[in-house]
Structure formats: C-alpha cells, structure tokens
A = this chain, B = another copy of it.
Amino acid sequence: MDAVRVIEVKKSIFESNDREAERLRKQNREKGVFLLNLMSSPGSGKTSVLLRTIELLKDDLRIGVMEADIDSDVDAKRIAQTGVKAIELHTGGMCHLDAGMTERGLKELNCDDLDIAVLENVGNLVCPAEFDTGAEKNVMILSVPEGDDKPLKYPLMFQVCAAVLINKIDVLPYFDFDMDKCIENIKMRNPGISIFPVSAKTGEGLEKWADWLRVQHKHLT
C-alpha cells in the first residue's frame, strides 16, 4: 500500500515539475536570459570554474549566480566578490532543485537585466539529474580525482547534459585517470555532448568553454 502511494505522488511531482520547467524556460527565452543548470559531485570545483568563467565573460555579458547549498554561504560570498549578482539558495536538506525553487531564486536575483543566469545546483550526481529546473541547458563538471568510470555509474547525469567539463586536469599526473577512456565512457552515455577538459586552477581550457556559453546565449536571442 505504502509503495503504491509513493509512486503515485512521485509521478505527480515530476509531471507538475515538468510543466513548471517548460513554462519557466519559455519565459526566460522571451526575456533573453540564458539559464544554465550546473551540476557535479561535491568538491568537483563548480564554484572555482564559475569564478574563472565570470572573469572571461563579465565584460561582454551580464551574469547572475544562484548558489544552491544545503547549508553555508561560503560559495555565494566568493562569487559576490567578482562583482556579479549572487544569491544563496538554502535547500533545507533537499538534495536537488526543481523548477519552482529555481523560479523563486530567479525572482530574488531579479534576472530581467541578465544575459546569463547560472544555477549552481546541490553537489550530487543522482537527484539533480532527475528534476528539470527549467534551465535552457544542463552542464556538469566531472573532476579528474573522481575517476574516469563515473559515466558508467551515473548514466542519467551524463544523458541530460549538453556539455561536460572535465576539471582539475592540472593533477592528471598524480591520478590513475585515462582521458581517452573517460571521453569514450561519456560518449557512450551521450554521443552528442560537448566535452571540455579544463583546469580552474591554471585556467587551461576555459576559453573554449566560455566561447561555448557565448554561442548558447547568442542562439537564444
């Protein structure tokens, strides 16, 4: 009995969320706001990548960032220091963001005068992949120390993303990480995905990623 009720309710959450997400996506397109949903494991370097990305783009594009975290406001403070708009979204223990939570965040961010709004999702490779936030594109960061086998273990995350950044390539010599194998594993899950090997520490590879974002924003408007 319990099991049946759970499935029903989950279904209704997903369906209603999908509708909300579609509406939010349409609304942002009309406003010319490119909403990016950035996902990864804890500690893969989402905030450091964002800081570098902001440096590369902030002279041409107006950027705002929503930092989703279960607790702490460490990341939002780091982002705010770059001078771009940043807010913290505390999820209250929730493991992902949905379209409703994202929309509330966008209102707080007052996104109407932005070109790119970035949602830094909760550090988690499972649940965030299941919930459409209403973003125009999903992107994930996989970091070298996590291992080249992650696309085998977390298939949905790689399937829902338009691009993946392979971060921390500066430490490649110290890890048993096969870049070719990793790319093969990613392509197996999602043949059309764009892949950017980068280092948020040295800045390597991030120009190409910033160019990809420019193109995405241009295509929107």
Contact = CB atoms under 8 A, between A and B. Distances in A.
Interface residues of A, number: 39
Contacts of A122: 126
A41 to B, nearest CB: 5
Q: How many copies of this chain does one complex carry?
A: 2
A214 interface: no
Interface string A113-130: 000000000111111001
Contact of A153 (B5, B6, B72, B152): B72
A74 B152 contact: yes
A94 to B, nearest CB: 8
B16 A12 contact: no
A205 interface: no
Interface of A: 2, 5-6, 9, 12-13, 16, 41-43, 69-72, 74, 93, 95, 122-127, 130, 143, 145-147, 149-150, 152-156, 168, 171, 174-175
15 contacts: A2-B12, A41-B41, A41-B146, A43-B145, A43-B146, A43-B147, A43-B150, A93-B156, A95-B124, A95-B126, A124-B126, A126-B127, A145-B168, A171-B174, A174-B174
